[in-house]
Structure 1
Amino acid sequence: MTRETRTLPALAPGGVDTPFVIAGYDEVVTHDTVWDEHSHPFHELLWNERGASSAVVGARVWTVTPALGLWMPAGTLHSGSAVAGTWFRASFFGFRTTSSISPTPVAVEITPLLRLLLERLGDPALSAASRAATEVLVLDVLAPSPRELLVHVPTSALLRPIADAVREDPGDPRTLTDWASALRVSPRTITRAFNTETGTSFARWVAAVRAQHAVALLTRGWDVEAVAEQVGYRSASAFGVAFRRTTGLTPGTFRTH
C-alpha cells in the first residue's frame, strides 16, 4: 500500500485572515496518509465519520474516532496519520470569531447533537440566519471531555525499549518485573521513570496503549473477542473492564456495525 505524506505550513494564530465562524472539511483518504508537523491560524476540531486516526503533539498521541474528537487550538504544532479508507472530518473555528475551549489540545465527545449541528452547517442551502443560529448552538454545546484516548510516549533511553515493544505489539505479555529483569534495573526504577515521564504507572500506560490499538481495530469492524485477544487480554470481559477503566467508555462505543 502506497503511503502519502502531506506537508502543510506552520502558521501562527490569526496569521491568515479567517473571517468565518465555523467552516467544515471532510475527506476519505485513499492511501495510508501522514501529515508532517504543522499548525493552523484557526482552531480545529478533528473527528471522523469512519475509522480511527492519530494526532501527535510533542510526546502525546491521541486517537481520533467517530465518538471522540480532538480540539486543536490555533498555532499548536501537530502531526497526524490515518490509514487508507478513513473518512476524517474537520471543523475550523475562526481565530478572531471564536474563543478556544482550551489553551491546549483536549478531547471532545462527538455527541449525537454536536454531530447533527456540524452536519447542518454543511448544508449549502442553509440561510445566513440559520447558519448563525446553528453556529451559536455548536459553540454552546462544544466542551472538553475528560474521556480521551491519549498516550504520553516516553523517550528516555531506559523506557524507549518498553515503549517501542508495547506500541509495536500491545499484546506483549511482559510485566514490570519482566522488563526490570531484561533491562537490569529494579522495578522501582522503571516505576519512577514512568511516573516522571508519562504521569502514570507502567500498568496504566500499557492499558492506554492497548485501548488505542483496540479502538483502531474496533473501528475496522473487528469483533470484541478478537480485539481482546489481539491486545493481550484473556477474555472479552477482562478487556471490557480494562477498557472502561481507561477510557470511561465501552468497546461497543467504537464498534463498526
Structure 2
Amino acid sequence: MDTAETRRLPMYGAGELTFPVLAFGNDEFFDRDTHWEEHSHPTHELLWNETGAGTAFIGRRAWTVTGRVALWIPAGTPHTGRTPAGSRQRAVHFSLETPALAPGPVAVELTPLLHLLLVRLIDDDLPAASHRLTEQMVLDVITPSDRELVLQMPTSPLIAPVVAAVRRNPADQTTLAGWARRLGVSTRTVTRTFEAETGLGFSRWIATARAQYAVAMLSHGLSVAEVARSVGYCSASSFTTAFRRVTGMTPGQFREIGDACPIDES
C-alpha cells in the first residue's frame, strides 16, 4: 500500500481571486508523506510547520519550513512542496491589499507574538472586529528574517552525481578530492562549478544540505547524537559546530525556539 499522497492545486495569478478579509488561514495534520505538485496562489502565503519540517521548492531553491522560521511566498509564485507524515502545517494567506514583504520569497521568524497572532487568524470563530484588529497587528510586527535555511540546487550535469549522492544519503563521506577523481576533473573545477551554480563552495553546500536534513530529524524528536550520525558527523560536537555555522544556532537552541511556540489544540 502506498502511504504517500500527491496533491494537485490550481495555478492562480496574483489577485485572480478576491476575499472579504485581508488574511485567513488553514491548519492541517498530515498522517502521510504529502507532496504538492506545482501551483500558485492568488494571495501571498505565509507557511510554517508546527511539528515536523516541510520543504518548499521555488525555482532552483529548496526552503526548509519549521516551527521557528516561516516562508513568505508572494502571490502568483509557482512552487511545489512536501511535508512528512506526522507533521502539522499551518498557513495564512494575505490578500493583495496587504503590502508584500519582498518581491520574492523570504524567511519570516516566528516570534512568540507573531505566532500567537497568526494562530488567532486561523480561528474560524474569531469575531469580525477581533479579526480585523489581529490582521493589523500582524502587519505591524511581521518582518523578513535573515535566519533562513535555503539551498540552491545546482543543475550542471558535471556535479549532478554529487547532488544525487547527498540527496540519497546525507552521510555520504566522499571528499572534494574523491569527487574530483570520480568526475575526472580537478578539485578547482568542482569548487568553481558549485560556486557558480549555488554561490557556495563544495564544503559549504554539503554542510547546508546536511543541515536541512538535520532540521527535519530534530523536529521529529531525534537526539542530537542520532542526527549527527545520520547526516555524516563523527561526533555530536562536530555536528553542532557545523549546524551553528549554517543556521546561526546550536541544535539545542533550534529546539528551544521551536518549543517556545505552543501548539493550540483547541
Q: Give the TM bin, normalised by the shorter chain.
A: over 0.9
Q: Give the equivalent residue in structure 2 for 1:180.
A: 180
- State whether residues 71 and 106 of structure 2, in contact with CA within 8 Å, keep that contact through their aligned partners in structure 1: yes
Deviation readout 1:72-98 (Å, 9 max, x if unpaired): 000000000111121000000011x20
1:62 partner letter: W
Quick one: percent identity of the two aligned structures? 54
Q: Secondary structure at the match of 1:233?
A: coil
The 2-side partners of 1:99 and 1:61 are apart by: 24
Q: Give the equivalent residue in structure 1 for 2:98.
A: 98
> How many angstroms does 1:29 deviate by?
1.4
Q: Give the equivalent residue in structure 2 for 1:69.
A: 70
- State whether residues 65 and 254 of structure 1, in contact with CA within 8 Å, keep that contact through their aligned partners in structure 2: no
Q: Give the equivalent residue in structure 1 for 2:39.
A: 38
Q: Give the equivalent residue in structure 2 for 1:146.
A: 146
The 1-side partners of 2:75 and 2:19 are apart by: 11
Asked if 1:217 corresponds to 2:213, the answer is no
Q: Give the equivalent residue in structure 2 for 1:83.
A: 84
1:83 partner letter: P
1:71 partner letter: W
TM-score calculated relative to the size of structure 2? 0.92
Q: Give the equivalent residue in structure 1 for 2:263.
A: none
The 2-side partners of 1:20 and 1:128 are apart by: 9
Asked if 1:26 corresponds to 2:27, the answer is yes
1:185 partner letter: V
Unpaired runs of 5+ in structure 2? 260-266
TM-score calculated relative to the size of structure 1? 0.95
Q: Give the equivalent residue in structure 2 for 1:127.
A: 127
- State whether residues 67 and 253 of structure 1, in contact with CA within 8 Å, keep that contact through their aligned partners in structure 2: no
The 1-side partners of 2:147 and 2:241 are apart by: 15
The 2-side partners of 1:132 and 1:148 are apart by: 29
- State whether residues 92 and 121 of structure 2, in contact with CA within 8 Å, keep that contact through their aligned partners in structure 1: no
**Residue 124 and residue 16 in structure 1: after superposition, are their counterparts in 2 closer, same or farther (change >3 A)?**
closer
The 2-side partners of 1:249 and 1:139 are apart by: 27
Equivalent residues in 2 for 1:239-250, closer than 5 Å: 239-250=239-250
1:31 partner letter: R
Equivalent residues, number:
256
**Residue 206 and residue 212 in structure 1: after superposition, are their counterparts in 2 closer, same or farther (change >3 A)?**
same
Q: Secondary structure at the match of 2:156?
A: coil
Q: Give the equivalent residue in structure 2 for 1:229.
A: 229
> How many angstroms does 1:254 deviate by?
4.1
Unpaired runs of 5+ in structure 1? none
1:28 partner letter: F
The 1-side partners of 2:194 and 2:53 are apart by: 26
CA RMSD between the two structures: 1.4
Q: Give the equivalent residue in structure 1 for 2:56.
A: 55
The 2-side partners of 1:105 and 1:226 are apart by: 32
Q: Secondary structure at the match of 1:121?
A: helix
- State whether residues 27 and 122 of structure 2, in contact with CA within 8 Å, keep that contact through their aligned partners in structure 1: no
